[in-house]
Amino acid sequence: MGEPTGAGSGALRCVRPEVPRKSDRQDTLFRADYMLGEGRKRQTRVLLVDDHPLVRQALKDLFTREADLVVCGEAEDWKGALAAVADSKPDLAIVDLRLRDSDGLDLIRDIHHWHPGTLTLVLSMYDESVYAEQAVRAGACGYISKREATTKLMGAVRQVLEGRIYLSEEAAARMAPEAAERS
């Protein structure tokens, strides 16, 4: 796999709209949930959605090493994931394509529709050449294989949080001609 796409001019963008808060009091409480302490940077909230408990635990352990990222919830299925997004209001949901009760693409569409402030990144064992375009069309901001190194996963997470789409060079090259035709 090549380097991720998204850097430089003409890069694919993944923008999270600003979601208004219901009141100043709620906004203050919301911000307080994210603070590490006086004068410190807020943590980015991440939701893990995978039907395998072992994978979720490994990801959770990986995220504990990152001071600015915090796992705010976990889910193994569509229903649990939508409830967790509504309850924990993550900045990013990392979603597997295969879940207990549904297709991860359906979940991504629903998150994108019902919770537009939450970005999604697919982490899957399924072939990127088949599913990356479908995931991006569903609303995901990137696709990374479970075969990649953990450093690549964190790079993908950070790239998506910066508002850029994360794909391997091969997937981006396949998608570029079609994107050019649509524009």
Strand partners of residue 142: 166
- CA–CA gap between residue 145 and residue 137 (Å, rounded): 17
User: pLDDT tens digit string along 68-77?
Assistant: 999 999 999 9
- Which residues does 162 contact at the CB level (< 8 Å), separation at least 6? none
- Which residues does 83 contact at the CB level (< 8 Å), separation at least 6? 75
pLDDT at 103 over 70: yes
User: pLDDT tens digit string along 20-44?
Assistant: 444 433 443 344 444 445 555 789 9
Which residue ranges form the domains of the chain, and what is each CATH number?
Answer: 27-182 (3.40.50.2300)
